């Protein structure tokens, strides 16, 4: 970038000298922080089994839904037709509903991220 008027003006910035009590003020805050008891850490260890259990449960539900949704409907016995039709129809729809919810969630997260970056949140 060439040296021009903008550079000249913005380069020639005045210099501020911190007030005489600045170091003392910072050190006072640092000492207070050091003297304060350490914050109680978040109990991740206690939470881990819950997270693992929930993840396992969700995965199992997902696998079951997929398995049921993809099952061959022609294999259903004629005697059970009235029951199985309603059931498989519901299961098939559940997959789509789950997918729609997933897409909505992803869209919501993406929009929040974009808005957050733009400084509006």
Partner 1 sequence: MQLERRDACPTVGKWRILSETALKTNGAQGSDQDLSDVERVLAGDVEGFEGIVRRWQGPLVNMAWRYCRDRGRAEELAQEAFVRAWRGLAQWRREGIFSTWLFALAANVFRSELKRFPSVNLPLEAASEPSRPARQHNELAAQQSSDAVRRAVMALPVRYREPVILFYFHEMDVGGAARTMRIPEGTMKARLARARELLRRRFPHLEDENRALKLADREA
For partner 1, the binding residues (CB under 8 A) are: 1, 4-7, 9-19, 21-23, 25-27, 29-31, 33-34, 119
d(CA 81, CA 101): 30
Tokens of 82: 């009235």
**Residues 6, 11, 17, 18, CA torsion sign:** positive
Tokens 């729809």 correspond to: 93
Q: How far is the CB of 3 from partner 1 (least distance, A)?
A: 9
Nearer to partner 1, 67 or 113 (CB): 113
Pair 91, 69: CB distance under 8 Å: yes
Nearer to partner 1, 9 or 77 (CB): 9
Nearer to partner 1, 10 or 75 (CB): 10
Q: How far is the CB of 38 from partner 1 (least distance, A)?
A: 11
Q: How far is the CB of 116 from partner 1 (least distance, A)?
A: 11
Q: How far is the CB of 36 from partner 1 (least distance, A)?
A: 11
Nearer to partner 1, 24 or 55 (CB): 24
Other Cβ atoms within 10 Å of 117 Cβ, number = 9
Q: Distance from CA of residue 40 to its chain's centroid? A: 23
């Amino acid at each position: 970038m060439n040296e021009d008027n903008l550079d000249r003006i913005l380069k020639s910035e005045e210099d501020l000298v911190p007030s005489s009590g600045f170091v003392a003020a910072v050190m006072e805050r640092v000492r207070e922080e050091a003297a304060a008891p350490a914050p109680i850490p978040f109990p991740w260890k206690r939470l881990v089994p819950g997270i693992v259990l929930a993840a396992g449960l969700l995965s199992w539900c997902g696998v079951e839904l997929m398995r049921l949704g993809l099952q061959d409907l022609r294999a259903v016995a004629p005697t059970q037709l009235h029951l199985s039709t309603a059931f498989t129809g519901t299961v098939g729809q559940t997959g789509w509903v789950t997918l729609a919810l997933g897409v909505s969630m992803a869209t919501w997260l993406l929009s929040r991220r974009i808005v957050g970056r733009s400084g509006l949140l």
